[in-house]
Amino acid sequence: MDEKRATIKRPTIVLDPEALGAPAPAREAFLGQLHKAARVFAIFLVVQVLLHGLNSHYLKPDLDAIQEQSDSWAHSALARLRMDEAQKEETYLSVPDPGSALLASREYATHPHIAGSTEDFNDAKVILNLFEEHFGIIPSFPPIFPAGSPESRAATLGINKLRRPKAWIDIYYPVMNTPLDRSLSILSADGEGVKWEADLVEDGDPRDPEAAEYRDAVPTFHGLSADGEAEGHVVYVNYGKKEDYDELVAKGVNFTGKIALARYGENFRGLKIKRAEELGAVGVLIYSDPRDDGAVTVANGYEPYPAGPARNPTAVQRGSVQYLSLYPGDPTTPGVPAYANANRTEGENIPKIPSLPISWANAERLLEEISGGDARAALVLDGRASETKVKLVNHVNTRVMPIWNTMAAIPGHIKNETVIIGCHRDAWVMGAADPTSGTVSIHEVVKGFGHLLKKGWKPLRNVVFASWDAEEYGLIGSTEWAEDFPEWITDNVVTYINLDVSVTGAQWGARGSPSLAHLIRSAALDVPHPTDPSRTLWDARKDDGPFDGALDAEFEKTYEAKVHELRIGKEEVGIPPLGSGSDFTPFLQRLGVASMDQGFGGTAHDAPYHYHSIYDSQRWQEIYADPGFFRHVAVAKHLGLVALRLIDAIILPLNTTHYSLELDDYLAKVDSEDIAASVDTSPDFSVLRRSIHKLQKASRALDAEKEEAERKFKELLDKIPLWYLSVFDSEDPAANANSRLPEWLRRLLKVIYGNLPKGPVRKFIKAARRVQRANAKLVAFERGFISEEGIEGREWYRHLGVAPGKWLGYGATTLPSVTEALTFEKNATLAEEEASRVAALLDKLAETIEV
């Protein structure tokens, strides 16, 4: 008997008034009151144990705790009984509101809040207050804890024991940097003078008030860039993809001592620098090219923002240049949390050569220096270098800085199953789209969940909300938390729902684990289209922007290829896999938690999004991205529906069979002619193919088991009210006359202490445990792709089913270790070895989910 059970006081004599000599009228009155109170308690306990008690916690309850909260919890449980699924979803969907979203955006997106700043900390406290207000939390002290402290550890590890919602802030201490001094100049022929100097600022046009006010609040720089100076001739490298560099090397270009000029797009900005550094370059410049803006360009007659929808030519994209595909998070504490007193290493995922982001206006001048006058003539991958040298200066203050994750938890009935909803809060400047549009949608979700709580809803599973910090520097806040609590996450988290940018354009899309694809789709079919009530959110996948115009030929080719890739063969589901670039990364790629992300993005016919610029502003958002804020609300409604269906479903809505069938496509892609042609000998993937088919068979059996488990559970659930009446609702005084305890109480104590009657309760508890086993297998499916050894060369990433591409960063590479053995190592034998490693994982997974 454990300590808690030993302290329970068994009511044997005190409850019998006759034994105390009480007169008959008092005895009858006492029994009447006791019977009435007992019925309330019994209803509460039956609801808790039989409706929601899918683990042993509710089979041996803490009676003192139950007594303490019986009235409120019984009310909550009974209210939830009265609120069926349709009512609950309808109630939730009535809350997200465009007017509320607009006001929230005007609060969050009209001031800078870069990670580690005072404004960022103030926003962390604003989000804390939001959680406290809507979840009914009254803190007794400011719940702000240094990561690693007993209070911080207890806040997360105690989620499973919570009886009421809780919110807090965790402080982590990663290494980041801020700009000190930057300059860029074209030197004179003799190297002694300066021919031209870049301004390195955005113009801050006063027609956009916040852009004008905060023009210089965060200078244009690269987060986690190397401190230093470089001089060299400039070489244009297109997007700076590995293929671009390799093509130039094949043409005889020697990058030693050169400065690479790359345009944004196609791969993560840090990887443009990584390859240049490997080839001997001394610096990198990255600019935003209007060719990638689709139809909405000055060349097509559109005025630049803020006068019109085209790109402002002075706009600059700030951003982290961390080598994301090696590992995310604090560069100096890979794999472990960044506590204040952490042991640190030299960061291996950050550049050693300096870099700067620049505008198109400044890039044009450099291109003219390469071509001898015509900037457009230099946009050819031919290896020409500038006639004179360029000097790049990037001085930064690199140091340990505080960041603040704001967290909230709503306890559910099942204590070891948790759904996390996360969105980062920090921005490079104002960030009206990135990430404030996501924060605004989460704001509406929080309001919706708070409204449900006030209506008496108590979730079946725990819910955690996370407002992550320092995502912009390299997914730092989420990664450090995941590295702080990996065991708890592995043991408890069933899904992670991410939101980053809710709205930058007209076209809705989602990415996620294949097991979530059907849930994502079904919820999207139940959410109205944001502007056309005759359609659904799912239909918005095909929406386009309002502007016409000719497309750059190269852009048109790549754009159509991307559209085709997203839609081909997937029209019935339409949910591609996740790569990286946002806070789902540590949950999916390292810990094997099924994850998803969504939002409205821009198309070739939308106003260009001024990514990480001062012009990612409230004005731009209201005029071009989402007039009326209906798209923000649509995202909030969809996310809330997905979350509620995960939180309250008896059987988790994870489709493992769809996932296992997707593996056929993954293997077919690796075995395609394009990839197979990269090696002389075709690899043999028969072992992996057999393992995939074995997993598919096991998953189909699990489908049948989870369907039967849920059917049986619901069938017995329908019988519980009749059983309750027969056990607890006897009005016959003779039934209890000769007992020191009423019969109902003796039977209740048998339930509490495990001596169960042979009626439907025993069968129901067995059915509940069967449901629990099925859910455990569903959660284990994504975990089954995790290899402790990780992916060779970037061992932080452990998911062998999908990972960010080694030279992509953002984009997903399926079966990454196998694919990269062919595409980068050109080694068929290594590919077969990696395929065998994946096959071993799948064989083990098939055994894990076997029924």
Residues involved in catalysis: 471, 686, 799
Q: Using an 8 Å Cβ cutoff, are 31 and 17 in contact? A: yes
Q: Using an 8 Å Cβ cutoff, are 744 and 730 in contact? A: yes
CA distances to 109, 200, 281, 619 from 430, in Å: 5, 18, 33, 11
Q: How far apart are CA 216 and CA 213, in angstroms?
A: 8
Q: How far apart are CA 383 and CA 371, in angstroms?
A: 11
Q: Distance of alpha carbon 659 from its chain centroid, rounded?
A: 19
Selection from 806, 812, 783, 785 nearest residue 327 by Cα: 806
Q: How far apart are CA 291 and CA 376, in angstroms?
A: 11
Amino acid present at 145 = F
Token pair of 847, please?
Answer: 């055994």
Q: Using an 8 Å Cβ cutoff, are 641 and 523 in contact? A: yes
Sign of the torsion formed by the C-alpha atoms of 283, 286, 287 and 292: positive
- HEC sequence for 585-600: HHHHHHCCCCEEEEEE
**Tokens 């139950």 belong to residue:** 66
Token pair of 716, please?
Answer: 């017995």
CA distances to 475, 477, 600, 612 from 423, in Å: 11, 10, 15, 17
Selection from 144, 150, 139, 137 nearest residue 170 by Cα: 144
- HEC sequence for 283-333: EEEEECCHHHHCCCCHHHCCCECCCCCECCCCCCCCEECCCCCCCCCCCCC
Q: How far apart are CA 723 and CA 179, in angstroms?
A: 70
**What number of CA atoms fall less than 13 Å from residue 8's CA on the CB side?**
18
**What number of CA atoms fall less than 13 Å from residue 251's CA on the CB side?**
15
Rounded-to-10 torsion of CA 159, 165, 171, 176? 100
Q: How far apart are CA 56 and CA 247, in angstroms?
A: 62
